[in-house]
Amino acid sequence: MLPSGMKRGKVSIKESTDILIKLNLIIGQILPVFYEYNNMIKQQGFYLKPVHMVTRRLQDGTIIKYYYYGRYWYKLEKTPTGRLKWIYIGKEKPLPELPDPPENPLEGVVVKRVNETIEIIFGSEELFRTIYSRLSSTLK
């Protein structure tokens, strides 16, 4: 079954908030690998995040939250006051000599949450099929 929200190879579906629990379970399984990887590369001053979250507030007060799943690289720098400054540097490994980063099984998924309405956007039909079958079996 392919959802009706297909355009330019992307798949968009509407879901209940239960889907966020399933996504969090999958991320929870891979977080230890990301923590271990970040411990290996911290001497170079980089950090790899599996999820990037953005919050937007519309003029009417509605809050939209976006969750981007992938591999997001940051450079960590200390300011003169001792605070840690996170500088986004992209999705590609910043130095070739760094070890290969861990895989993120949700890479390419974007979740848009407006109140209790959840929209999930998959980068391709193949990604949709792979992840949706995994999500379907996560909380049965």
Note the pLDDT tens digit of each residue in 61-81: 999 999 999 999 999 998 999
Strand segments, DSSP code E, in the chain are 5-7, 10-15, 46-57, 63-78, 84-90, 109-114, 117-122
pLDDT confidence of residue 74: 96
Kindly report the pTM of this predicted structure: 0.81
Retrieve residue 46's tokens: 């980089």
Q: How high is the mean pLDDT in each 10-residue block of the chain (140 residues)?
A: 52 78 89 96 94 94 94 93 93 94 92 88 86 69
Measuring CA to CA, how many Å separate 105 from each of 62, 66, 78, 90?
30, 18, 32, 19
What per-residue confidence (pLDDT) applies to 1?
Answer: 41
Instruction: Return the residue matching tokens 């079958």.
Output: 133
